[in-house]
Structure 1
Amino acid sequence: MHYDLVVIGTGPSGQKGAIAAAKMGKKVAIVERNRKAVGGVCLHTGTVPSKTIREAILFLTGYRQKEVYGERYSRKRHIQMDDLRKKLSEVVGRERRVILDQLERNFIDIYDGEAAFVNENEIEVANKDRSVRLTADYTLLATGSKPHRPTHIPFDGETVFDSDEILTIERIPRSMIVIGGGVIGIEYGIMFAALGVKITIVDGQDTLLGFCDSEIVDHLMFTARSLGITFRTGESVRSVKQASRNRVIVELESQKKIVGETAFFSVGRKGDTEFLNLAAAGVEVDKRERVKCNENYETSSPCVFAVGDVIGFPALASTSMEQGRQAASRIFERKKVSTGEIPYGLFTIPEIAMVGKTEQELTAEKIPFEIGVSRFEELAKSQICGGHDGLLKLLFHRESRKLLGVHCIGDTATEIIHIGQTIMAFDGTIDYLANAIFNHPTMAESYKVAAFDGLNRLCADVDDCLGTLFEDASEHDVDPVAIPATVVDTTLETTSVS
């Protein structure tokens, strides 16, 4: 069978790339190891499962409600792993049916089996029943990633496990050592801490989540410690040993030993390219088996493109979808579309979201900026829902007032971040937020509160404010000396929507 495009992998990037090409009138095939695995890592072991488990934990523990109704709402000691997995099978099943329907109604042929290149234009797809060969003008690699599993770590799926296996453990342990303080490690660590599990997070970096705003990270660390999490940063793991079925010993390079019931290993991921025979197509990979490509998703082979987690950073489902669409457009229409600033969302407890520059980046680039902050405890909606632990920070240019970055931590952070993203896409200023009307009570009101706070900070420069006042006074034949000093102070009132 010959196709204009063969897509290998049915995760977010593969799906959207295949559908985009089909809508251009191209003949498209998509390959997945097993039809039950349609949706890829995102649907079966990554994004969707972890977020579904998170919501189950928040609901069953009464994490949000206990702030409103007190500790009596919580019953976390009686929660079992099967309770957390009940909703998961339903969500995955529905999403899988949606994906299959989308592929079929766009007349995309679906092949089950392991794909391997014969040459850059020919692919063999083999399963236990048969083997077929497909030829294509172009191939789009969207095979995703899998956990990095060093050979010296004694994985058994029960006491020592990775992010794929954590979803299948039989019971909720009393303690867990999380090796790796990246996004996955932090997310799962805080989730299980909310269940009452004693968590220790070990990471080689002195500062966790270095790509995030430092104030936001500090806020998250405070919340995590309040849940009983212990952080061992700047520490490297020497060995992991299973002392017994319910006892794991993690030895650090500093000679420390940490003992727990379980160990969760989450130190990076690698490209899922092991069986593709990429050498036959002339496609190069890095030491983590991720496909090397340029900004147009072109690999070292002119007929092969790559998108999604298999190419590495940023490895987000949201960006992967757009990469798939853009790659299809690049292949068949030679178009390149700018996506603007990419929003990031971390589904920790509480959530973290960001778009644009951080304070550290703006300072390093010597860009004059000011900040505006809204604390969720000021918002009526936050008080109503019991999620007043959080803040929204706006970074904007002191002179043009153009919005440069938005950073948020708290309930619904990953939702409301898109308001800031939209304003930045149109080069909007903080004045729009100050003047706009937001529904009350909503979490979106935090933008208006933060905008007022930022504008007040601009007026905190006494010389500038007095200069402006004197200019206004001279225009109206008013003696500037007669202007009371308290005028300046009134601009520093506390920020609130009212």
Structure 2
Amino acid sequence: GEIIEGRTVIVATGSTPTNPATEGFDSKGVITTDEALALEEAPARLLILGGGPIGVEFAAIFHGVGSRVTLLEPGPQILPGEDHEVGQRVRQSLRDRGIDVLIKTAPTSIRQQEGEELVVSLGGRSGEVSVDKVLTTGRAPCLVDLGLTEVGVRLAGGAIVVDDGMRTNVPGLFAIGDATGGQMLSHLASVQGLVAAENAMGRARRMDYRAVPRCLHTDPEVGCVGLTEAQAEEQGYQFKTSTIPFTLSARATTLGELEGAVKIVAEARYGKILGVHIIGPQATELIGEAALAIQLEATAEDLAYAIRAHPTLAESQVEAARDILGQAIYLPKW
């Protein structure tokens, strides 16, 4: 192959699908996310393994085109890295739409029946489920045949170790995106690429991971940024929370999209915004304002008194901030 030389190299090889080492996962009907996107017709019955962002989005996609979908999550909630309230609301939303969601459930084996039917044995008391396809959602850094160990690149958990300037331990070698593990998000990888490129040119740029938006393009949409309640507690914060439903939003009412809510996690003493979690109309757009608030270390008071147009969905973040201050206007006092 072609040999390319340079004083600096940025590894941006992305990730590749992975399958669990469980009996039967080499069966014909077990597909990866890459293969799912190449299907010419939707399976009548689909089992999705993993209730993370990829699994939830694919559940919504295939349900939308007519598949009967079962979503398995081995942990206690879907979207395990997100706030517990987000996981609960999304799970209920999926179930309301007819998607079977099983938590604390993992497959123990898969066997092929006559024809193309797959029978998946589930752990615990869940029994078996018969489907036409099984979709696995795992991904891992794609580092095969790069020669990284030969040049001494430090790896951890199958990913390239980098500092906040995206530098590896080998001078002149940078790495970004899925190849470095962590949050596998295209918008995060794009910023990492900019940071790596600027540092490769001799500038001094550092990544700031406090305000990375995490979005689900489902119905309703989900947008989260910053800390969850559990993470705030783990980091020793004293904090307050507020959850404002979109049923209080005039704009959500005119759109006819009342499902969901805005939740703010704020430091108790000064009101510094620690996290914002949105489920509902245009959540993936609204979360940008919250990301900027965290990036600029804004407080609940800053959000509460920044004027928004009316009627807009953004007003729900204002009301949540006011509630943190004990000044909610539209939230009923029960």
TM-score for the superposition, normalised by structure 1: 0.61
Question: Aligned runs of 1:456-467 on 2, under 5 Å?
Answer: 456=326
Q: Confirm whether residue 360 of structure 1 aligns to residue 196 of structure 2.
A: no
TM-superposed CA distance for 1:242, in Å, is 2.5
Distance apart, 1:422 and its partner CA: 1.6
1:297 aligns with 2:133: no
* Cα 1:364/1:407, change in 2 over 3 Å: same
Q: Which residue of 2 aligns with 1:322?
A: 191
Letter in 1 for 2:26: P
Q: Of 105, 112, 131, which aligns to 1:260? A: 131
State the match for 2:72 in structure 1: 202
| 2:86–2:277 Cα contact (<8 Å) kept | yes
Assess, with a 3 A threshold, how the Cα gap between structure 1 residues 360 and 150 changes in structure 2: closer, same or farther: closer
- Inter-partner Cα distance in structure 2 for 1:254 and 1:399: 45
Equivalents in 2 of 1:363, 1:258: separation in Å?
38
Larger Rg: 1
Q: What are the superposed Cα offsets for residues 251-291 of structure 1, whole Å, 9 maximum, x if unpaired?
A: 2243721111221111x212222132334433344454x32
Corresponding residue to 1:306 among 175, 180, 186: 175
Deviation at 1:334, TM superposition (A): 4.8
* 8 A Cα contact 1:296 1:330, kept in partner: yes
Q: Which residue of 2 aligns with 1:175?
A: 45
Cα distance change of structure 1 residues 304 and 244 upon mapping to structure 2, 3 Å threshold: farther
Equivalent-residue separation in structure 2 for 1:303 and 1:435 (angstroms): 47
Structure 2 stretches lacking a partner, 5+ long: none
2:77·2:88 contact (CA, 8 Å) conserved in 1?
Answer: no
Whether the 8 Å CA contact 1:235–1:252 is kept in 2: the answer is yes
- The whole-number CA distance in structure 2 between the counterparts of 1:379 and 1:365 is 33
Tell me how far 1:366 sits from its aligned partner: 4.2
User: What pairs up with 1:44-443 in 2 under 5 angstroms?
Assistant: 126=1, 132-150=2-20, 152-154=24-26, 156=28, 159-254=29-124, 256-266=127-137, 268-286=138-156, 288=158, 290-339=159-208, 340-443=210-313
Is the 8 Å Cα contact of residues 403 and 428 (structure 1) preserved in structure 2?
A: yes
Q: 1:381 to 1:246 in 2, by over 3 A?
A: farther
What SS does the corresponding residue of 2:5 show, helix, strand or coil?
strand
Letter in 2 for 1:296: G
Distance (whole Å) between structure 1 residues aligned to residue 174 and residue 207 of structure 2: 18
Conserved? CA contact 1:191–1:349, under 8 Å: no
Q: Which residue of 2 aligns with 1:479?
A: none
- CA distance, structure 2, for counterparts of residue 217 and residue 321 of structure 1: 27
Deviation at 1:447, TM superposition (A): 1.4
Give the Cα–Cα distance (whole angstroms) in 2 for the partners of residues 297 and 437 of structure 1: 38
Query: Cα gap change, 1:279/1:456 in structure 2, threshold over 3 Å: closer, same or farther?
Result: closer
**Partner of 2:134: helix, strand, or coil?**
strand
Indicate how the Cα distance of structure 1 residues 430 and 242 shifts in structure 2: closer, same or farther if over 3 A, else same. Answer: same
Residue type of the partner of 1:153? F
Q: Deviations over 1:383-434 (max 9, x none)?
A: 2222211100122233312222211111211111111222222222222332
Shift of 1:363: 2.9
- Alignment correspondent of 1:495: 331
1: CA distance, partners of 2:36 / 2:152: 36
- The alpha-carbon distance between structure 1 residues 435 and 295, as it changes in their structure 2 partners (threshold 3 A), is closer
What amino acid is aligned across from residue 324 of structure 2 in structure 1? G
Amino acid at match of 1:301: V
Q: Taking structure 2 as the reference length, what is the TM-score of the superposition?
A: 0.89
Q: Hey, what's the Cα distance between the residues in 2 that align with 1:274 and 1:188?
A: 27
In the alignment, the residues of structure 1 paired with residue 329 and residue 315 of structure 2 have an alpha-carbon distance, to the nearest angstrom, of 18
Gaps of 5+ in 1: 1-125, 127-131, 458-491
Q: Distance in 2 between matches of 1:368 and 1:414?
A: 28
Aligned partners of 1:143, 1:397: CA distance in 2, in Å?
38
Moved more, 216-225 or 248-257: 248-257
Shift of 1:319: 1.0
Paired amino acid for 1:345:
C
- Distance in 1 (alpha carbons) for counterparts of 2:301 and 2:196: 37
Cα distance, 1:297 vs. partner?
Answer: 2.4
Residue in structure 2 matched with residue 76 of structure 1 by the alignment: none
Give the Cα–Cα distance (whole angstroms) in 1 for the partners of residues 275 and 244 of structure 2.
Answer: 14
SS of the residue 1:164 aligns to? helix
Q: Hey, what's the Cα distance between the residues in 2 that align with 1:260 and 1:338?
A: 44
1:222-253 deviations in Å (ceiling 9; x for gaps): 10111122223223322222214441111224
**CA contact 1:154–1:241 (8 Å) conserved in 2:** no
Alpha-carbon deviation of 1:155?
A: 5.1
Q: 1:334 to 1:204 in 2, by over 3 A?
A: same
Counterparts in 2 of 1:221 and 1:445: CA distance versus 1, 3 Å: same
Greater shift in the superposed pair: 334-343 or 268-277: 334-343
